Amino acid sequence: MLLVTLATALAGWPEDLTLSGLTEHDGVRVVDNELLQSTWRELVMELGTAIAPRPMPSATTGIYGFELALSSSFVLVDAKTRPSRVTPWDRAVADENHEPYLAIPTFSVRKGLPGSFELGGRLGWLAGTRTGLGSVYGRLAVLENYKPIPDVTLQLGYTGYTGNDEFDLSVFDMGVTVGSRFGIGRNGENNGRFEPFAKVDLLRISATPTAPLELVQQVGAVTYERNQLNAELPLAVPRIGAGFQVTSGVAHFRLSGSWSWLTIPSIDVGMGFTF
């Protein structure tokens, strides 16, 4: 009995999201196919938005620049008007009561390249779960250092969700960031910068159930994937975001927020170093 209890305890973390969790609520089996399918769709859309990249300053690090940063995103799971007080996140976790927010601590790095290009990546953990994320992106500054014209940067990226045994999920993002930089300090002695920025992007969220076929059919969990037989197209989510960065010497502090009227908002706070 002790071994069975221990195995059950180790089987999952409190905030693990599962397809099997959608099939029962308050001890009652869910048989409403429309509810199951809409819950799966909402979960895919909101989880994809949660792991997608956050806004960052429009200026690149420059050909010799290199940045290391630690940050944490707070995804506001309950900050959306719904027909029911029960969220897809509540239905997908074991205790049927997800926290009102999801914390995602991340480590990121970016490196400037010739021609106003920049490459970057990040690794993150979805707190309270066994799952994480990995992300890579490329950026191109089409306007940079042409004062007083704002800096304009284009970005393409990919984020993968890892560690879930019942479904795979990924996000392709493309967007544009506009921002500027202002010196902080006395005239002629500026050793700091204030950088406001705003971003508009489009997320393409793909998901594939990997649970046993019987469970997938019970939930009605369709596959959202391009060029796959019997699958629907990836979910498209337009999103806006804004924030600012304050830099002193090589250290910086960054605060930003992202929002889409289709899903849920998030707040991101972090600090790092640019060399």
DSSP the chain: -HHHHHHHHHH--TT---SGGGGEETTEE---HHHHHHHHHHHHHHHHHHHSPPP--SS---TT-EEEEEEEEEEETT-S--SSSS-HHHHHSTTS---SEEEEEEEEEEEEEGGGEEEEEEEEE-TTSS-EEEEEEEEEEEE-S-TTSPEEEEEEEEEEEES-SSEEEEEEEEEEEEE--EEESSTT---EEEEEEEEEEEEEEEEEE-S-HHHHHHHT---B-TT-TT-BPPEEEEEEEEEEEEEETTEEEEEEEEE-TTS--EEEEEEEEE-
- 124 has a pLDDT exceeding 60: yes
Judge whether 1 lies within some domain: no
25 found inside a domain: yes
pLDDT at 42: 96
Q: Is residue 7 part of a domain?
A: no
Domain membership of residue 4 (yes or no) is: no
Residue 5 counted as domain residue? no
| Chain mean pLDDT for the chain | 91
CATH code (residue 121): 2.40.128
Domain containing 219 equals 15-274
Average pLDDT over residues 182-203: 86
- Residue 140: pLDDT band with limits 50, 70, 90: very high
Residue 175 β-bridge partners? 155, 201
Does residue 192 sit within a domain?
yes
Q: What is the mean pLDDT of residues 51-59?
A: 96
In a domain? residue 134? yes
**Average pLDDT of span 118-123:** 98
Residue 7 pLDDT exceeds 70: no
pLDDT band with cut points at 50, 70 and 90 for residue 11: low
Number of domains in the chain: 1
Asked if the structure places residue 3 within a domain, the reply is no
More confident position, 9 or 210: 210
